[in-house]
Structure 1
Amino acid sequence: MSRLGFVVLALALFHYSSVDAADAKSARGLGQSVEPFTLDNCYGKAVSLDDFSSSKAIAIVYLGTECPLAKLYGPRLSKIQREYSKRGVQVIGINSNKQDSLTELAAYVHRHEINFPVLKDPGNRVADAMGAERTPEVFLLDQERIVRYHGRIDDQYGVGYSKERDAKPELTLAIDSLLNGQAIEVPETEAVGCYIGRASEIAPSGDVTFTKDIAPIFNNRCVSCHRDGEIAPFTLTSYDDVLGWEDTILEVIADNRMPPWYADPQHGTFANDARLSQKERDLISTWVDNGMPEGNPDDLPTPPVFAEGWQMPQPDEVFAMAEKPFTVPAEGVVDYQHFVVDPSWQEDKYIVAAEARPDQRGVVHHILVYVIPPGNKRRDFRQVVAGYAPGMPPLALTDGVALEVKAGSKLLFEMHYTPNGSPANDLSYLGVQFTDKSNVRKRLRGGLAINQRFEIPAGDDHHVVDATYVARRDEKLLSMTPHMHLRGKAFRYDVRFPDGREETLLNVPNYDFNWQLKYVLEEPLTLPKGTRIECTAVFDNSESNLTNPDPTKPVRWGEQSFEEMMIGFLDTVPVEDEF
């Protein structure tokens, strides 16, 4: 309380009007009366619910400064405030996260141009009284301060997805009904987002501590993305960083959303397997259950060191994706952006290292840089110079292996942006390092199992598309990368050797468009000439696919995310030397 200066809390438990106590838990706030409260805003000024006694409706929204959905919905809530203020509607934001300081709250207000009061709820007492659990989560009050709508703002954004089709504006529909004296058609929806970081009621105890047991796990598995300047929504680099995020961490681990890894463990062994072990999961769960003891600072492991500049050796050439930055909007869905760059290479190039580097890491989800061969207008899907996704290392080839790019080739940057609530101007770039042809023994080859002739029927939730790759020589398979768009549901690689042996190399039963993962084999697999790799993709073009732009239309091959692709990428090298 002392950090906030003057804070007054005039709180009472809810009184029930249209629901009785037995139904209160299931109703989750509907029909309950919210008693007056007074909280400080981010500038230390006391703001009371009674200050808005003349308002016909009040939307109380719980927000967090680092929650991805709270960031995305900040501008949208400001728009609601602008459009409905003349009709007597007031939006009030409340931050109950113990991990969010007043400075961070003020930065959130300025960064997202919030035009309504955002208040700090120390000790999450207002949140507890109202039964709030998530950020963002809305409680719409009528003039008598009775909760008439509870849940989400609309259905466009969810955990791990963004709908491309128009959102259903549940909050504004509820406001309109309330102002018009009509019954709210859907008075309750499910609030999705981050858990509110509540003050712990459990005294820290036990032998499992952050410094000794948990910090090594986060350093090895998480902080490559969960650190300052990276795309992850919050940092995990210190004990104080973690406090308040424990419930969200447990949820994403239990749901297998984090760390991102979608390969079925029954098939294949991969060098870049990001999964937590069962021991690591149990340690994190035990630590949270025991009140999250910090432990002895002397037990802290040496923090990982991340390159501030190039992760690859100093590049011989650097290419920006365009002449001027691309503006990423604060919210919404951004289709893939494509930029063609002419490197003016007058001779064949042999690339041994390449790194695609995002300029604005907070909004760049992934980058793929393809080769457009001389005399062609389209990219060669078999030649990917470099790729970037959170946590992905740069291309580094050794032992006489190089990527050959013919003279006169151009480069195509494919950019996938994810808005984070604030507009950004991005000018990402590529660095490459060459070697002389005399040093090259083998060329890195990109293989494809690709099918461009398909049509996914409207409403079909399990449409199968197949494609095959045939080894034309003896070669070694290094990695596999399944690629589909928003209707992608599952992807599998099966191999059939010339001697009749068969096995599944990779199975991705729950494909996620947001994570374009490359699965690197722990040991390269020899593919004798004539070996067939059969790829099977499953698409969901139904209404139940929340990311589906339009389930009423059939879908064919196309460049944009609202169209579809079916590609099983492979990286191979020949068994024998070529030079």
Structure 2
Amino acid sequence: MYARSLVAVFLLLVCSSICTAWQAGPSPIGKRIESFALDNCYGKPVAMSDFDDRELIAVVFLGTECPLAKLYGRRLAQLQTKYAEQGVTIIGINSNKHDSMTELLAYQNRFDIPFPMLKDVGNRVADVFGASRTPEVFLLDRQRVIRYHGRIDDQYGVGYSREAPMRNDLAIAIDELLAGKDISSARTDVVGCHIGRVKPIEPSGEITFTKHIAPILNARCVSCHREGEIAPFTLTSYKDVMGWEDTIIEVIDENRMPPWFANPEHGRFANDARLSERERELIVTWIDNGMPEGDAADLPEPPQFVAGWKIPEPDQVIQMRKEPFTVPAQGVVDYQRFVVDPGWDEDKYIVATEARPQNVAVVHHILAFVIPPGKKDVDLEQVLAGYAPGSLPVVCPDGVAVHVKAGSKLLFELHYTPNGTEQTDLSYVGVCFTEKEKVQKPLIGRIAVNTKFQIPAHDDDYEVRAKYKVQEDEALLSMTPHMHLRGKAFRYEARFPNGEREVLLDIPRYDFNWQLKYVLAEPKKLPRGTVVECTAWYDNSGSNLSNPDPGREVGWGDQSWDEMMIGFMETVPTAE
């Protein structure tokens, strides 16, 4: 039954890449805030003293493009409605230099914000509070003294997302203050994007955006960070980058962007997304020098992205279902699976496939599996098509095709991530066929899989192994490790018939949110008798913030709170 609902998530939350955790510094707790005045999104001045009749004021710093600020927009609106009659007011402040009044107004309208949204030009109010992230909360008492500082709740964090908050920190702090009690947890970690501050650095130096930085962004970033794609902000122009420099530096320094987790000591990969040391050095130096724009004549031509199919015009387009699926505004959406009959009454030989989201704003991955005729479960070795932001379609070399038997059905598996507003999606897959006579070799999926394991509760380094033995000489093309929320590390190792061993792929820091396919730069010959051994390590302890229940023994299961252990591979026979 496990095959029916295989989970293979390429991307869970974009905020796992650009949202980061605030590091503890001097505590603002106990600091009194004098009244300030800022313009609201309609251009009208609003002062904190306008709310002198309010018992409590929650000042929340927000950004219009920060993924967490989008997810929490409506939740803040609900909190304002809940506590308004008890004398509580929320004030939203935007201190980002790159967010305009128009964008601030759009944010307020999009999330039905009932409280004032103010523009902090020059980030002077953010400096008074010591705010550094969005969203970041400062709860003021009747004397306008900061009594709580931190997050709204703990539902979202760096690399994890819960179905619901375990602790509603801001609401608890409000309740305790209103009841005259001390706040039980007055300071919590803040997770979010850096505030895009105005900085007193005069641009200088020879490294410029137009000549040095734009080419790097074009090659590494804008496939996702452009208009209409899933990334939360664009990086297609000099203006786009302004305000995101601190976030860019942080995610590069922590090796979270571009997403790539292979140990460079083992193997070479055609789709290696890492920045080179020279590229890192250029970006860091440019930011340190105040980000000079440079000569417009040096600006490279922008990359061209195909608007339609990347494969040849498909012979057949298959929708995931008849009616669109509704994606809620927030929360965690379980993996959606839809069985489709493509009407294949004869064997098909497929040379190209492309999975395409109808709504790129909320689709994080698509997988289409083959269900063999007469079977209920998918064939784990036949993943017909897959999509993740920035991914490429499957195009077989000349003479190579995927063989699918007559009567087969398809299982669409989709992973959605809410972005703050309700959305709909009707994704689809395009396929190109060829005649049997033109096929010389099949493209074959292989797996090393272990379904018989039990990870003990609280174990932070549990090991599980699985093997695949090569029956006939073949060439390995790619590898895709797969685990769930407790996945910690993964390794592929080949044991050749002559006794030699080789690490094919090593993932020392596995990330459930970014499950990638690792495509070899050159096919690896695997002689008959070779054993590919996959080893997976799991962290079922409380130190794993993604862990839904450290006290539970965990075995194989369909959902993300269960576990899986699969080493996917793609091969072709070396013989005709």
| Deviation, structure 1 residue 165 | 6.1
Counterparts of 2:47 and 2:184, CA distance in 1: 30
Is 2:161 the counterpart of 1:130?
no
Distance 1:247 1:472 in 2: 52
User: In the alignment, residue 402 of structure 1 is paired with which amino acid?
Assistant: A
Give aligned-pair identity as a percent: 65
Cα separation, 1, equivalents of 2:524 and 2:164? 42
User: Helix, strand or coil for the counterpart of 2:513?
Assistant: coil
Moved more, 72-81 or 298-307: 72-81
Residues 123, 199 of structure 1: 8 Å contact kept: yes
Q: Provide the residue aligned with 1:298 in structure 2.
A: 297
- Structure 1 position 45, deviation (Å): 2.0
Report the Cα distance in structure 2 between the residues aligned to 1:516 and 1:355, rounded to whole angstroms.
Answer: 18
**Cα gap change, 1:424 to 1:165, in 2 (>3 Å):** closer
Greater relative CO, 1 or 2 (CA 8 Å, sep 6+): 2
Correspondence for 1:20: none
Task: Tell me how far apart the structure 1 counterparts of residues 403 and 55 of structure 2 sit (CA, whole Å).
Answer: 68
What SS does the aligned partner of 1:263 have? coil
- CA RMSD, Structure 1 to Structure 2 (Å): 1.1
| 1:492 is the counterpart of 2:491 | yes
Instruction: Indicate if the aligned counterparts of 1:164 and 1:548 stay in contact, CA closer than 8 A.
Output: no
Q: Point out where structure 1 has 5 or more consecutive residues left out of the alignment.
A: 1-24
Q: How does 1:489-568 map to 2 (within 5 A)?
A: 489-568=488-567
Q: Which amino acid aligns with 1:112?
A: F
What are the equivalent positions in structure 2 for 1:144-543 lying under 5 Å apart?
144-164=143-163, 166-543=165-542
| TM-fit CA distance, 1:317 | 0.7
Kept after mapping to 2: 8 A contact 1:271/1:522: yes
In 1: Cα distance, 2:357 partner to 2:457 partner: 36
Deviates more, 1:204-213 or 1:423-432: 423-432
What are the equivalent positions in structure 2 for 1:94-133 lying under 5 Å apart? Answer: 94-133=93-132
Contact 1:165 1:548 in 2 (8 A): no
Per the TM alignment, residue 148 of structure 1 is displaced from its structure 2 partner at its CA by 0.2
Q: Is the 8 A contact 1:164 1:547 kept in 2?
A: no
Q: Aligned partners of 1:26, 1:230: CA distance in 2, in Å?
A: 35
Q: Displaced runs of 4+ in structure 1, greater than 6 A?
A: none
Q: 1:61 to 1:162 in 2, by over 3 A?
A: same
Report deviation, 1:159: 2.3
Match of 2:83 in 1: 84
- C-alpha separation between the residues in 2 aligned to 1:485 and 1:110? 37
* 3-state SS in 2 of match to 1:184: coil
Secondary structure of the residue aligned to 2:384 is strand
Name the structure 1 match of 2:41.
Answer: 42
**Native 8 Å contact 2:159 2:546 kept in 1:** no
Match in the other structure for 1:19: none
Residue type of the partner of 2:494? V
* Distance in 2 between residues matched to 1:208 and 1:294, nearest whole Å: 9
- Structure 2 residue matching 1:380: 3-state secondary structure: coil
Q: Distance in 2 between matches of 1:503 and 1:116?
A: 60
Distance in 2 separating the partners of 1:226 and 1:218: 9
**Could you tell me the TM-score, scaled by structure 2's length?**
0.95
- For the residues of structure 1 that align with 2:115 and 2:549, how far apart are their CA atoms? 34
Q: CA deviation at 1:28?
A: 3.0
For normalisation by structure 1, the TM-score amounts to: 0.94
Q: Structure 1 164/494 Cα, relative in aligned 2: closer, same or farther at 3 Å?
A: farther
Q: 1-side partners of 2:390 and 2:244: how far apart?
A: 21
CA contact (8 A) 2:479 2:518 kept: yes
Partner of 1:18: none
Letter of the 1:150 partner, please give it. H
Asked whether the equivalents of residues 153 and 165 of structure 2 are also in contact (C-alpha less than 8 Å), the reply is no
CA change 1:166–1:392 in 2 (3 A) is: same
Shift of 1:112: 2.0
Q: Which amino acid aligns with 1:210?
A: F
1:53-64 counterparts in 2 under 5 A?
53-64=52-63
SS in structure 1 of the partner of residue 50 of structure 2: helix
**What does the per-residue CA deviation read over 1:213-236, in whole Å, with 9 as the maximum and x for residues that have no partner?**
000000000000000111111100
- Per mean C-alpha deviation after superposition, the further-off stretch among 286-295 and 84-93 is 84-93
- Kindly indicate whether the alpha-carbon contact (under 8 Å) linking 1:366 and 1:516 is maintained by their aligned counterparts in 2: no
Assess, with a 3 A threshold, how the Cα gap between structure 1 residues 261 and 509 changes in structure 2: closer, same or farther.
same
* Deviation (angstroms), 1:450: 0.3
Conserved 8 A contact 1:28-1:131: no
Distance in 2 separating the partners of 1:166 and 1:233: 23
Partners of 1:382 and 1:112 in 2: how far apart? 43
- In structure 2, what is the Cα distance between the partners aligned to 1:112 and 1:89? 19
Once the two structures are superposed, residues 255-313 of structure 1 have per-residue CA deviations (whole angstroms, 9 ceiling, x without a partner) of 00000001111111100000000100000000000000000000011110001111111
**In structure 1, what residue type is equivalent to 2:308?**
G
Give the unaligned 5+ runs of structure 2. 1-23
CA distance in 2, matches of 1:388, 1:359: 12
Aligned partner of 2:8 in structure 1 is: none
How far the C-alpha of 1:151 sits from its partner, in A, is 1.0
Amino acid at match of 2:547: N
Q: CA deviation at 1:48?
A: 1.4
**1:265 & 1:26 partners in 2: Cα distance?**
35
Equivalent residues of 1:163, 1:548 under 8 A apart: no
**Deviation, structure 1 residue 26:** 4.3
Q: Is the 8 A contact 2:443 2:570 kept in 1?
A: yes
